[in-house]
Chains A and B, each alone.
Chain A
Amino acid sequence: MGAETFALAGPSGAGKSTLLRAVAGLTPGADVTVDGDDWTALPPERRSVGFVFQDYALFPHLTVRRNVEFAGPSGDLLERLRIANLADARPRELSGGERQRVALARALARRPRVLLLDEPLAALDPHTRDAVRGELRATLRELALPTIVVTHDYLDAAALADRVGVLVRGELVQEGTAEALIAGPSSPFVAEFAGACLLRGHARRDGDLTRVTLADGTEIASTDAATGDVAAVVYPWEVTLGPDQPTDSAQNHVVGRVTAVVPVANRVRVTVGAVTAEVTAASAARLALREGDEAFATWKAAGTRLIPL
């Protein structure tokens, strides 16, 4: 495999961690080949992997320096991961982000051929998570090591990896760049996992357009060609909200009651009927939408993906 970061994303129980443990040799019995070398018969200590565990699994009885040097000489790793000032601290004295950097430094001290990260952001609180995600992304770019990241969060996968594979019940259902998966999800599951809302309906061709009749009679349009039962993929960040019916015929819209208004970082997710819109906090404030209000959710007909069911 090339020196790229590959994210294995999927819901809990999809077999992501099992796959990672199999590569590391912790779950025996799986055929593992890395760059033409057969690792199948090798015990974990003879496989050249840098494994960062979900809870980091630092040695609680050793200092940061001894944790890192357990695997090999620390070289400039403490400096590179900005933990040199913590060299004599014990893991229990560290913050979540610091623990993660120690775990990464320790994995790298092994001089691994492959880096394996199991839910590297899951043990962090939401506030730390955003900052650490950015740091980790920069570190992974700099390392240029073949890396597999396992995550149940599509945003983490998209942020950290060059390519994303979606794993469902032990099967790789789609693989590509994060953008490609969002632009052309192969199944309703992938679309939903990537953050889309799905509108199920019946499609028929109408000139250059496809018109989809939803269960409640609403009709939406798409530039994708399809007939029969389909799922229309609508991403929250492509949806705008308004109190009035839009007049532009190139726009799709649904009308409904606002059922949820949830702030996420500096944006607000507003659910109108079956569609969720993600708008800036400023525009949410301007609209002053509250649960129970009637609103129109609007998005472009072009770029509305249709997945045959």
Chain B
Amino acid sequence: MRAAFAVCAAVAVAFLALPVVALFSRISPATLLAQLGEPAARDALVVSLKTNAIAQTLVLGIGTPAAHVLATRRFRGRDLVLTLVELPLVLPPAVAGVGLLAAFGRMGLLSTSVAFTQTAVVLAVAYVAAPFYIRTAVAAFEAVDATIVDAARTLGARPWRVFARVALPLAAGGLGAGAVLAFARGLGEFGATIMFAGSLQGVTQTLPLAIYAQFGRDFEVALALGALLAAFSFALLLAVKWLRFTSTPVFPFASSSSA
């Protein structure tokens, strides 16, 4: 039985690793780096980094207080709100794209003119990435010992100071892991972006969109961009594992208080 299980493990790992290995083995590292100098590749890199940086800032800046509220307050319909927040995780990207158009498009609910602009890329990335962050952040804040928060209040700390000096540092490991996951998801975002923002080189064409645009035209550029994204995602996932491993340990004497 052990041999059969080991074979299954080997097959699974090989199947999952093969496409990544192929990305790097089709052309030499030198050619790979040279292809990244192509204008289409460079534009895509700039668009991706810029839109993701803005989207991540929004996700962290608004998502952190939001997650804290969702983690510490008990209110009616909390489960419903949490489900709504998590929905983009499982929503097909095409549905997300149509939804964003229906909300922010010229004929949409809010009838704005952001569709097919760089702002639309930022919105699409934030929309798909935010749930990854918020969900992890809610869990991280929920894991902070309520008694320690109570202690901070009795020691004279106003709610803002309790948040900044106690809740935030104690949840830091989980928040960091959530931020990395969200960033990885945002960087790879494709479906919602192409529908809501289009694929205009230098404006809305992110790395994944450039891969799609290039693979019919210049397969080597597509390969190079693919290798870049794969290497980046690998590093991010490794970072998440490292953050989880070093995040706040479990404390002894953290028993429940007496009645």
Asked if A59 and B257 make an inter-chain contact with CB atoms under 8 angstroms apart, the answer reads no
Neighbour of B258 across the interface among A51, A59, A70, A152, CB < 8 A: A152
Q: Which residue of A lies closest to B251 (CB)?
A: A60
Asked if A96 and B259 make an inter-chain contact with CB atoms under 8 angstroms apart, the answer reads no
Instruction: Knowing A57-B145, A71-B156, A92-B251 are in contact, say whether A150-B258 is a contact too (CB < 8 A).
Output: yes
Q: Which of B151, B166, B251, B252 has the most CB of A within 10 A?
A: B151
Asked if B170 and A60 make an inter-chain contact with CB atoms under 8 angstroms apart, the answer reads yes
Asked if B155 and A70 make an inter-chain contact with CB atoms under 8 angstroms apart, the answer reads yes
Chain A facing B: main interface SS: loop
List the one stretch of A13-21, A219-227, A282-290 in contact with chain B.
Answer: A13-21
Neighbour of A54 across the interface among B154, B155, B249, B257, CB < 8 A: B257
Whole-angstrom CA separation of A72 from B165 in the bound complex: 14
Whole-angstrom CA separation of A150 from B147 in the bound complex: 17
Q: Mark B89-123, 1 if CB is under 8 A from A, else 0.
A: 00000000000000000000000000000000000
Q: How far is the CB of B257 from chain A (nearest CB, A)?
A: 5
Q: How far is the CB of A145 from chain B (nearest CB, A)?
A: 15
What residues on A are CB-neighbors of B249 within 8 Å?
Answer: 60, 92
Q: Which residue of B lies closest to A72 (CB)?
A: B156
Asked if B253 and A55 make an inter-chain contact with CB atoms under 8 angstroms apart, the answer reads yes
Whole-angstrom CA separation of A34 from B128 in the bound complex: 53
Neighbour of B255 across the interface among A109, A110, A123, A150, CB < 8 A: A123
Q: How far is the CB of A114 from chain B (nearest CB, A)?
A: 11
Whole-angstrom CA separation of A107 from B150 in the bound complex: 13
What's the tally of chain A residues with a CB closer than 8 Å to chain B? Answer: 45
Whole-angstrom CA separation of A60 from B150 in the bound complex: 14
Whole-angstrom CA separation of A2 from B43 in the bound complex: 75
Asked if A57 and B147 make an inter-chain contact with CB atoms under 8 angstroms apart, the answer reads yes
Asked if A57 and B258 make an inter-chain contact with CB atoms under 8 angstroms apart, the answer reads no
What residues on A are CB-neighbors of B147 within 8 Å?
Answer: 53, 55, 57
What residues on B are CB-neighbors of A71 within 8 Å?
Answer: 155-156
Whole-angstrom CA separation of A70 from B147 in the bound complex: 16
Whole-angstrom CA separation of A54 from B257 in the bound complex: 6
Any chain B CB within 8 A of the CB of A44?
yes
Asked if B156 and A57 make an inter-chain contact with CB atoms under 8 angstroms apart, the answer reads no
Q: How far is the CB of A65 from chain B (nearest CB, A)?
A: 14
Interface hits, A5-35 → B, CB 8 Å? 12-18, 21, 24-26
Whole-angstrom CA separation of A106 from B251 in the bound complex: 19
Q: How far is the CB of A107 from chain B (nearest CB, A)?
A: 8
What's the tally of chain B residues with a CB closer than 8 Å to chain A? Answer: 26
Asked if A70 and B157 make an inter-chain contact with CB atoms under 8 angstroms apart, the answer reads yes
Asked if B148 and A122 make an inter-chain contact with CB atoms under 8 angstroms apart, the answer reads no
Instruction: Knowing A51-B154, A61-B169, A72-B156 are in contact, say whether A14-B259 is a contact too (CB < 8 A).
Output: yes
Any chain B CB within 8 A of the CB of A45?
yes
Asked if A16 and B255 make an inter-chain contact with CB atoms under 8 angstroms apart, the answer reads no
Q: How far is the CB of B146 from chain A (nearest CB, A)?
A: 9
What residues on B are CB-neighbors of A25 within 8 Å?
Answer: 153-154
Whole-angstrom CA separation of A304 from B19 in the bound complex: 88
Q: Which residue of B lies closest to A24 (CB)?
A: B154
Whole-angstrom CA separation of A70 from B258 in the bound complex: 25
Any chain B CB within 8 A of the CB of A119?
yes
Asked if B150 and A57 make an inter-chain contact with CB atoms under 8 angstroms apart, the answer reads yes
Any chain B CB within 8 A of the CB of A200?
no
Q: Mark B151-164, 1 if CB is under 8 A from A, else 0.
A: 11111111000000
Q: How far is the CB of A263 from chain B (nearest CB, A)?
A: 27
- Sample (12) of A-B pairs whose CB atoms are under 8 Å apart: A12-B259, A45-B154, A45-B155, A45-B156, A45-B157, A45-B158, A53-B147, A53-B151, A56-B253, A60-B170, A70-B157, A122-B258
